[in-house]
Every structure is written in C-alpha cells, then in structure tokens.
Amino acid sequence: MSFEIIVVGASTGGLKALQVLLSELPVEFSLPMVIVQHRGKDMETGLCEFLARSSRLPVREPEDKETLLPGQAYLAPRDYHLMIQSGSFALSTESPVGFARPSIDVLFESAANEYQDRAIGLILTGANHDGARGLAAIKAQGGLTVVEDPATATCREMPDAAINLTKVDWILPLSEMAAGLHKLTNSTKRYES
C-alpha cells in the first residue's frame, strides 16, 4: 500500500515551520501536499507567494473542483474550509470550527474519508487544539500520523493535543521532518500496525 496524499496543519509559528519543511523537501517529492495554515480572515493574500519563494515544490491556492496533482503543494485559501472529494478540492463557507476557517480538522477528516489508509497527516506548531480530532480520524482509517516534536516546536499546544488524542506513528523534530517524510513515502513497504 502506498500513500497518495499528505495533509499538513499549522497555526502559530507555522510560517517558519512550513518554510523550513518546504525548502527541505526534494523536488522529486511526489505526493500532493495540502496545507492549512491558520490566519486572520482580513490578512491579505501573499502567504502563498511567501511560501512559494522558499519551496522547491510549486505552491498554489486551489480553486473549487480543481483536481489534485502530484508534486504540488496546495495552501487552503483564507476564509474557506478546504476539503477533498473524488480527487478534487471542495471549498465551503460553513461556520468556523473552533474559531478557525480554514480548519485543520475539516481538511483532515475529509482526507481520512477520501483516502483512508493512503493518507498521511502531519501536525506542526500551534497554540490551539485544531487538528487533533482530524489526526485521530486519519489514524482510525489506517492512515499514517506524524507530529512535530512538541519539545522543539515554536508552540507545543497543538502537537501536544494531537499526541494526547492519538497514538501517533512518528514524532519528529522539524529539522528531521522533510528527510523523514521523504523516506516514509519512498519506502514501498509499509508495516501493518
């Protein structure tokens, strides 16, 4: 069984963490990567361009019903929830979940539903609990769960919350994240837990 997607959730401190992750992932990293980074709804665009500058993978904000492509990083647009349905993006303006829109939980739950054990969920730094429920959903469907090491994260609340709710598969410091993910997705064999 091989993986088909990686979903990433980040909040406070996330810009820096995403910058590191995206700059260290090799060009040949082929899984589509879908990112929710919390941000204020009046924060103007520019985040995507900012991340793209340090990323070796192309980064874009998807439009509704756009097909996911390999080798591409996607950033959830501000003030929408982002979900995945039948291989395409589905946006929504449902109410914020835990004060967040986009919400990490919403993205992760839809990825768990769509990809089951072919999804990887990654929780990075943040000062709230978003993503914990979503990561649990990925785990429940047999997907792979990865969390940034709370000890070295800018804000440890979000990694801690995820670890408290789920027996996560990997806890990695940011400095080893890109290499770790590359290795995980490159190995053809997966061990059943």
The binding site for another protein (CB under 8 A) comprises: 42, 61-66, 77, 79-81, 83-86, 88, 90-96, 101, 106, 109-110, 113-114, 116-117, 140-142
Quote the Cα angle for 98-139-132, to 5°. 20
Which residues, other chains included, contact 160 with Cβ-Cβ below 8 Å and sequence gap of 6+? 150
Least Å distance, CB 29 to another protein, is 25
> Which residue bears the tokens 């490159």?
186
- DSSP assignment, residue 126? -
Cα–Cα nearest to 7, from 85, 123, 160, 97 = 123
> Which residue bears the tokens 């408290």?
164
Q: How far is CA 137 from the centre of its chain?
A: 14
Least Å distance, CB 63 to another protein, is 4
Least Å distance, CB 25 to another protein, is 25
- Catalytic residue list: 11, 38, 130
- Alpha-carbon span 13 to 27, nearest angstrom: 24
- Alpha-carbon span 63 to 89, nearest angstrom: 7
Nearer to another protein, 37 or 125 (CB): 37
Cα–Cα nearest to 131, from 160, 162, 156 = 162
Least Å distance, CB 190 to another protein, is 12
Nearer to another protein, 54 or 141 (CB): 141
